[in-house]
Structure 1
Amino acid sequence: MKIKPILMFLVLIGLIGIAVWTSQKESGSINESEKPAESFQPVKGNGQTGLKPGNTLPDATLTSLEGKTVSLKEFRGKKVILNFWATWCPPCRKEMPDMQKMYSRHKDNQLEIVAVNLRYTEKSTKTVSDYVEKRKAAFPVLLDSDGKVSKKFQAVSLPTSYLVDSNGVIQKKMIGALSPGLMTEFIKRSK
């Protein structure tokens, strides 16, 4: 009968799965006590440069769509949603209207949304400019023309966002589209 080899194969696959899960849990890849991805918990800064919550946001200088040179340190003193995106990215397209609504509602409350486009992945700067204009995005759009900034910020999957408090301390790194609820919670709970 052929059932015995199939059953042995399924048991083997199950054992491999358990071994992988146990290995990830022991290495810290899986943390059962973590909050869900949509939860925002403020953290206190430790003054170190880095890309994890609690680290100070590294500086970077980029060019805006208008051709102006902009340094990220210019946004200190405001809560910042630093978002890495591209026009061809479906989750990026999904979150942009929500980001614009949030920006319109809270820009006077010391909130800045800074959208860093991965220009090196786009057909042209005009593609980006047309996209932003069509969606009436009023927040600053900066261009990462050579990929150095997205590499520095480890923005490999798009969108990648950093929620940064007014002291320049990273509160959360999010991979995937930001929900309006998470943005609202960040605005309310961070300093």
Structure 2
Amino acid sequence: MIRKVISIGALLIAVLVIGSVIYNTISSPPVGANQGEEAPDIELPQANGEDMTLSDLQGTFVIMNLWASWCEPCIREFPLLDQVHQEYSDDGVKVLAVNMTSFERTTDEAMEFLNDHPVTMPILFDMEGEVADAYQIEGLPTTYFINEEGIIVDTVVGEVTEDMIEERLEPFL
């Protein structure tokens, strides 16, 4: 009799655990760097020394651009991204420029670039390659479009244009 109760109890616990795992898998999007997945949260230092996380911007549409100071397409799109940040920030759109510092020749080169090209958008520094690992980047520049719920809705590997950005923003404004 006791064995029967223990067996039924163990079976009930197993069913609850399996049900919980299935529910969590179905009810929340997978985390990853692909379209339709929840963007991996990152915590990186800004140019002002304060840390910022991607989750700090939950509730806003985020354009996260990964760049390096030696990357010609990155340099060309940099002013456009800052312009988008200025024009759309009141509409709930934030642009984050993440310097892939671990890919730079020296950290000073990124700072020199920013001194020569001042911007208003937040600049974050991926000193340890955290973003490179979490997002499995294929090349620079790479731009992620992340909706208000933190889901990646699109990714562009290569230089973005004004038309490309506006086309991706239009459904969310």
2:122 corresponds, among 140, 145, 150, to 140
The SS at the match of 2:39 is: coil
How far the C-alpha of 1:46 sits from its partner, in A, is: 5.9
Query: Whole-Å Cα distance in 1 between the matches of residues 28 and 161 of structure 2?
Result: 27
Distance 1:173 1:46, change over 3 A: farther
Query: 1:183 — aligned with what?
Result: 165
Report the TM-score, using the length of structure 1 for normalisation.
0.72
Q: Contact between 2:138 and 2:157, CA under 8 Å: does it hold in 1?
A: no
How far the C-alpha of 1:190 sits from its partner, in A, is: 2.5
- Which residues of 2 match residues 82-121 of structure 1 at below 5 A? 82-121=64-103
Per-residue Cα deviation, 1:12-52 (whole angstroms, up to 9, x for no partner): xxxxxxxxxxxxxxxxxxxxxxxxxxxxxxxxx96221111
Q: Which residues of structure 2 form unaligned runs of 5+?
A: 1-26
How far the C-alpha of 1:142 sits from its partner, in A, is: 0.6
The SS at the match of 1:163 is: strand
The SS at the match of 1:84 is: strand
Query: Whole-Å Cα distance in 2 between the matches of residues 159 and 48 of structure 1?
Result: 24
One-letter identity of the residue aligned with 1:53 = Q
Identity score, percent: 27
One-letter identity of the residue aligned with 1:76 = Q
Report the TM-score, using the length of structure 2 for normalisation.
0.79
Query: 1:19 — aligned with what?
Result: none
Query: 1:61 — aligned with what?
Result: 43
**Higher normalized helix content (fraction of residues):** 2
Query: 2:9 — aligned with what?
Result: none
Query: 1:42 — aligned with what?
Result: none
Instruction: List structure 1 runs of 4+ shifted beyond 3 angstroms.
Output: 123-126
1:163 corresponds, among 132, 140, 145, to 145
Q: Contact between 1:60 and 1:149, CA under 8 Å: does it hold in 2?
A: yes
The SS at the match of 1:53 is: coil
Q: Which residues of structure 1 form unaligned runs of 5+?
A: 1-44
One-letter identity of the residue aligned with 2:88 = H
Q: Contact between 1:46 and 1:54, CA under 8 Å: does it hold in 2?
A: no
How far the C-alpha of 1:148 sits from its partner, in A, is: 2.4
Query: Whole-Å Cα distance in 1 between the matches of residues 110 and 152 of structure 2?
Result: 27
Query: Whole-Å Cα distance in 1 between the matches of residues 119 and 107 of structure 2?
Result: 15
Per-residue Cα deviation, 1:125-147 (whole angstroms, up to 9, x for no partner): 33222312322211111111111
Query: Whole-Å Cα distance in 2 between the matches of residues 96 and 47 of structure 1?
Result: 31
- Which residues of 2 match residues 7-18 of structure 1 at below 5 A? none
One-letter identity of the residue aligned with 1:137 = V
